[in-house]
Structure formats: structure tokens, C-alpha cells
């Protein structure tokens, strides 16, 4: 299999998000976030989003893997693998419990001081997402999330406090996690987690209009944050973060091809605005034609231009294949309707298509489009693990997945000339799945003894992939065996 050494300073490591591992959901002044009102689901059963916390329901993020009290032990294990970087998020509700508070919560700020100090103690660079699916629930209830312009101020206040407090501890930042996911505006989970919008009782048209409005305010909030961040510390590297999934037609027909292009336009515009500071023609035309998003001011357009990002970070899990069988290119309203099963690929136990070459396609496409450094900040396989009698975990399927993806990534860097900052696979330690709320959908190199029902000792142990990834990092990507 192809392998190549990565450039000096390449950031090998892993990525998590606060709400999926910290637990301690109401400790030290933390407020309730959208993640705290989502129940456990499964591969087939979606998570329920409840109106507040209802006694007797299983809310897995409340305790998660209790990283809040185990972070020293956990960061030490990541250091043992040789991590150069660790991506996590700052839980907005630890800093501003309600979101619209005047003053930040000192105990929350202190926790991240200690966490970042621990990372630096081991020579690990923190890579920080500001908003990763954990918007304060109060902002959801009182303002309807990002459909309200006031949210721009609240986000910018939160970002500014973090930039100032951690100006000498954090260099790499991202504003909104997977901001483009909400292009699937019909999905309760994505709209609630990205934008704090509860879709109950809304028509399809209202949902789509709400998405374009909210996304616009998020993009303005992001641009303002980038601009302020660069003033606070000119050395900051502030990126956007998208879920990138290359789109291809199911057949060579022009209808399928055009549909693939249209599908991609509906997702790429988020990163287009982040990088170029202006809306692409197609989206302007679309929202005009549909009569969506009335509130976009001339001042907003200036802000977007002034706050463009330094790099493009993305998650890569799978490619997307579309077919004009059920939806015509010019009638593309609901993206989900366009998606077809790719007959050339196998799927994970959760139905996610596995396509290592797609990662090389993604790296090439994003380089051609944006001419910016790229950063892979998520990639990985969610799988069931089996603990042997002696406690060992032989996760060769995970090693196989990662090896193939890393090989494709290395081709993109060594052969295609892609400027790549680092590789941070998802969930280096088992954590709560965002999509399903499960513990048993595992991504980790480090196993955590806890199951979907919430039972377990929380004991950490090393899987086979732990030793394998350690060797990959040690050889700077050369030894993938």
C-alpha cells in the first residue's frame, strides 16, 4: 500500500467535542445545551429532542465518559500515542450558561485553562471549535436559535471571551462545526444542533427559509469572530469547518450529472462564503427565486468580506451518490430525495458508505476550489467492539479503515501537492455518538467501559489500533502496516 512521510510539523492527533465526552452537564455553573435534551437512539431509532430535561429519560450526554473529571488521564493516553494536536470544543454553556448572560462563568473558563495547560504539558496543540452542536438551550427557547439576529451578538461575545482568555494557549480555531450539514433542512437533529431551530409544526418551505436565514446569521457571526480574533492575536489561525462529501452521479446521464452539481452547490456555498466572503451566484439566484431570507444587509456583506478564514477544515466520512430518478435537477428541494445507494461501496453497521479514495478526491477538490491550507479534523469508522476475556480488543476493521484513508491522504499530499495541516480522526477515545447518542458506536483507539444503557465502570483501555496509530505517528505516516 502507498505510504509517504508527511511534512515536518504535520499535526497528527484526534478530534472530539465537549458535549460528547465531558459529562458534568450541570456542574460548576454549566447551563443546559441542546445536547442535554437529546435522548439515546440507535442505528434505526432517531434521538428524541425533548422540551427540557424530562425525568426518567436516558440523556447520554449528561455524564458521557466523564472527561470533565478524567481529562488528565485521557490526555496522558493521547500523549502516549504521540499526539501532536487534540481537537475539542469549548462548551458554550460552561462559559455563558444561558447564552445571553452579561458576564462569563469563571469556573467554566478555568476548566479549559487547565485542559489546555495539560495538553501543552505533553506538547499537544489544542485545536478548538467554538460551536460544536451545543448551543445554549435558553437561546433555542427564547430566540428560536439562529433565526434571530441577536444570536450574532451572543456568539461573538462568547468567541471574544474565549479568544482573549486563551490567546496564548490556543492558536488553531474553528467557528461552527459542520455548518453545511443544515443544507438537509428537513432533519430535526441537524437543524437543532447546528442552528438551535426546533422544526415542530413547520412546513417544508418554512423550514428551508429558516435554514437560509439562520445560516446567514451564522456566517456573519463567524466572519465577525474571525475579524476580532485576528485583532486579539494576529498569529491565530481561524478556519471554517464543513462536512465534506464529494458528490457524484449514479449514472453518466447529464440529468444525473447536473443534479450532482446542483447538490454540491447547495452544500459548498457555506464554505464559499467563509473563504471568498461572498455568496455564489447559484445560491443568490435560488433564494431570490424562492423568496427566502429577507434579512441580509449591505453591512453584512461587508463583514463577510472582512472576515474570511485562514484554512478549510473538514470532516470526511463518505461520498454521496445522487440519482435524478426521484428528483429532477431543477426541482431539487429536499436533498435527501436525491441520494442513491452506490453499488460499488460497502457500508458500516450504521449504513455509512466506506470510500477511502473519496478522501483523496475531497482533498483535490477543496484545494482546486479554495487554494487554502486544508485540515482533516474528522474521519473514522463507528463500529461495535468486542472485549476479549483478557481485556484486549482486536479492532483490525478499524485499522483497515484508517490505513486505507491515510494512504489516500498521503497520495494527495505526496503526489497531488495538497497543502495539508494535519489529520485528526474522530473520537480517539470512545464517546457518545452525535447522531445516535450511543456509546456502542465506537471510534476510539482507547476503549471506555460504558454501554448504551449508561452502565459501566468508565475504565479506559488500549485497543490494538492504539499501538498501530502510535507507530503511524512515530514514523510520520511512513509505516502503515
Instruction: Tell me how far apart the alpha carbons of residues 264 and 247 are, in angstroms, rounded to a whole number.
Output: 6
Among 145, 62, 100, 10, residue whose Cα is nearest residue 418 = 10
Instruction: Tell me how far apart the alpha carbons of residues 376 and 356 are, in angstroms, rounded to a whole number.
Output: 13
Per CB under 6 A, which region of 42-50, 298-306, 356-364, 430-438 contacts ligand P53? 430-438
Binding flag, residue 472, ligand P53 (CB under 6 A): no
Q: What are phi and psi of 282, to 5 degrees?
A: -60, -40
Given candidates 315, 342, 379, 407, which one binds ligand P53 under the rule CB under 6 A? 315
Q: Which residues pair with 172 in a beta bridge?
A: 127, 237
Binding flag, residue 430, ligand P53 (CB under 6 A): no
Per CB under 6 A, which region of 65-73, 176-184, 213-221, 246-254 contacts ligand P53? 176-184
Nearest approach, Cβ of residue 112 and ligand P53 (Å): 18
Q: Which of 134, 378, 408, 410 is catalytic?
A: 378
Distances (CA, A) of 174 to 87, 149, 182, 211, 316: 10, 21, 17, 21, 16
All three cell numbers of 29, joined, read 455553573
* CB closer to ligand P53 out of 293 and 398: 398
Site residues for ligand P53, window 317-336 (CB under 6 A)? Answer: 317
* CB closer to ligand P53 out of 43 and 79: 43
Report the residue count for the chain: 481
Instruction: Tell me how far apart the alpha carbons of residues 173 and 310 are, in angstroms, rounded to a whole number.
Output: 10
* CB closer to ligand P53 out of 271 and 315: 315
All three cell numbers of 235, joined, read 498569529
Among all residues, whose Cβ is closest to ligand P53? Answer: 435
* CB closer to ligand P53 out of 143 and 314: 314
Helix (H, G, I), strand (E, B) or coil at 422: strand
Binding flag, residue 129, ligand P53 (CB under 6 A): no
Helix (H, G, I), strand (E, B) or coil at 349: coil
Given candidates 74, 134, 178, 268, which one binds ligand P53 under the rule CB under 6 A? 178
Per CB under 6 A, which region of 168-176, 177-185, 225-233, 459-467 contacts ligand P53? 177-185
Among 79, 161, 82, residue whose Cα is nearest residue 128 = 161
Residue labelled with grid coordinates 455524564: 63
Per CB under 6 A, which region of 103-111, 231-239, 432-440, 453-461 contacts ligand P53? 432-440
Residue labelled with grid coordinates 479549559: 112
Measured distance between the N- and C-terminal CA atoms of the chain, rounded to whole angstroms: 9
Helix (H, G, I), strand (E, B) or coil at 403: helix
* CB closer to ligand P53 out of 6 and 381: 381
Per CB under 6 A, which region of 41-49, 221-229, 256-264, 434-442 contacts ligand P53? 434-442
Binding flag, residue 229, ligand P53 (CB under 6 A): no
Given candidates 3, 33, 222, 243, which one binds ligand P53 under the rule CB under 6 A? 243
Q: Which residues pair with 199 in a beta bridge?
A: none
Nearest approach, Cβ of residue 438 and ligand P53 (Å): 8
- Site track 79-118 with ligand P53 (rule: CB under 6 A), x = hit: ----------------------------------------
* CB closer to ligand P53 out of 20 and 61: 20
- Site track 369-408 with ligand P53 (rule: CB under 6 A), x = hit: ---------x---x--------------------------
* CB closer to ligand P53 out of 7 and 435: 435
Binding flag, residue 433, ligand P53 (CB under 6 A): yes
| Residue 125 is a catalytic residue | no
Among 143, 210, 146, residue whose Cα is nearest residue 175 = 146
Alpha-helix runs per DSSP H in 96-203: 106-121, 137-143, 150-165, 188-195
Residues 6+ away with beta carbon under 8 Å from 60: 39, 40, 432, 437, 438, 439, 452, 454
Given candidates 70, 267, 293, 441, which one binds ligand P53 under the rule CB under 6 A? 441
* CB closer to ligand P53 out of 131 and 308: 131
The b/e string for 210-227 (b: 16+ C-beta within 10 A; e otherwise) is bbbbbbbbbbbbbbbbbe
Helix (H, G, I), strand (E, B) or coil at 13: strand
Contact 134, 96 (CB under 8 A): no
Binding flag, residue 440, ligand P53 (CB under 6 A): no
Instruction: Tell me how far apart the alpha carbons of residues 433 and 440 are, in angstroms, rounded to a whole number.
Output: 8
Residues 6+ away with beta carbon under 8 Å from 30: 24, 91, 93, 94, 97, 105, 108
- Site track 16-45 with ligand P53 (rule: CB under 6 A), x = hit: -x--x-------------------------
Residues within the interface to ligand P53 (CB under 6 A):
17, 20, 133, 177-178, 181, 243, 315, 317, 378, 382, 426, 433-436, 441
Q: Which residues are catalytic?
A: 378
Amino acid at each position: 500500500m502507498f505510504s509517504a512521510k508527511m511534512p515536518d510539523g504535520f499535526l497528527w492527533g484526534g478530534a472530539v467535542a465537549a458535549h460528547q465526552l465531558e459529562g458534568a452537564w450541570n456542574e460548576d455553573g454549566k447551563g443546559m445545551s441542546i445536547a442535554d435534551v437529546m435522548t439515546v437512539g440507535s442505528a434505526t431509532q432517531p434521538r428524541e429532542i425533548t422540551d427540557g430535561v424530562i425525568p426518567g429519560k436516558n440523556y447520554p450526554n449528561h455524564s458521557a465518559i466523564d472527561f470533565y473529571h478524567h481529562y488528565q488521564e485521557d490526555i496522558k493516553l493521547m500523549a502516549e500515542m504521540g499526539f501532536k494536536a487534540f481537537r475539542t470544543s469549548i462548551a458554550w454553556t460552561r462559559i455563558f450558561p444561558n447564552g445571553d448572560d452579561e458576564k462569563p462563568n469563571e469556573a467554566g473558563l478555568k476548566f479549559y485553562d487547565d485542559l489546555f495547560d495539560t495538553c501543552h504539558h505533553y506538547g499537544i496543540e489544542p485545536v478548538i471549535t467554538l460551536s460544536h452542536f451545543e448551543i445554549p438551550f435558553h437561546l433555542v427557547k427564547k430566540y428560536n436559535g439562529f433565526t434571530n439576529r441577536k444570536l450574532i451578538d451572543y456568539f461573538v461575545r462568547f468567541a471574544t471571551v474565549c479568544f482573549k482568555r486563551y490567546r496564548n494557549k490556543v492558536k488553531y480555531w474553528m467557528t461552527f462545526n459542520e455548518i453545511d450539514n443544515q443544507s438537509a433542512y428537513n432533519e430535526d437533529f441537524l437543524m437543532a444542533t447546528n442552528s438551535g431551530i426546533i422544526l415542530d409544526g413547520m412546513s417544508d418551505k418554512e423550514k428551508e427559509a429558516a435554514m437560509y436565514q439562520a445560516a446567514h446569521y451564522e456566517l456573519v457571526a463567524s466572519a465577525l469572530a474571525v475579524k476580532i480574533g485576528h485583532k486579539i492575536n494576529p498569529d491565530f489561525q481561524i478556519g471554517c469547518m464543513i462536512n465534506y462529501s464529494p458528490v457524484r452521479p449514479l449514472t453518466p446521464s447529464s440529468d444525473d450529472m447536473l443534479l450532482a452539481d446542483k447538490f454540491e452547490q447547495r452544500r459548498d456555498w457555506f464554505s464559499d462564503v467563509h473563504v471568498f466572503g461572498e455568496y455564489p451566484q447559484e445560491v443568490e439566484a435560488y433564494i431570490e427565486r424562492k423568496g427566502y431570507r429577507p434579512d441580509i444587509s449591505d453591512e453584512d456583506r461587508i463583514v463577510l468580506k472582512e472576515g474570511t478564514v485562514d484554512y478549510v477544515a473538514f470532516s470526511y466520512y463518505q461520498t454521496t451518490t445522487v440519482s435524478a430518478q426521484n428528483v429532477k435537477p431543477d426541482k431539487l428541494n429536499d436533498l435527501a430525495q436525491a441520494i442513491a445507494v452506490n453499488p460499488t461501496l460497502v457500508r458500516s453497521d450504521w449504513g455509512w458508505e466506506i470510500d477511502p479514495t473519496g478522501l483523496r478526491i475531497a482533498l483535490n477538490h477543496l484545494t482546486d476550489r479554495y487554494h487554502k491550507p486544508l485540515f482533516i479534523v474528522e474521519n473514522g469508522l463507528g463500529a461495535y467492539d468486542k472485549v476479549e476475556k483478557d481485556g484486549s480488543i482486536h479492532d483490525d476493521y478499524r485499522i483497515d479503515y484508517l490505513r486505507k484513508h491515510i494512504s489516500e491522504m498521503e497520495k494527495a499530499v505526496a503526489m497531488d501537492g495538497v497543502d495539508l495541516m494535519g489529520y485528526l480522526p474522530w473520537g480517539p477515545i470512545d464517546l457518545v455518538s452525535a447522531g445516535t447518542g450511543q456509546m456502542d458506536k465506537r471510534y476510539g483507539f482507547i476503549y471506555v467501559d460504558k454501554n448504551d444503557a449508561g452502565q459501566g465502570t468508565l475504565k479506559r483501555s488500549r485497543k490494538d489500533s492504539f499501538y498501530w496509530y502510535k507507530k503511524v505517528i512515530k514514523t510520520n505516516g511512513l509505516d502503515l502496516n
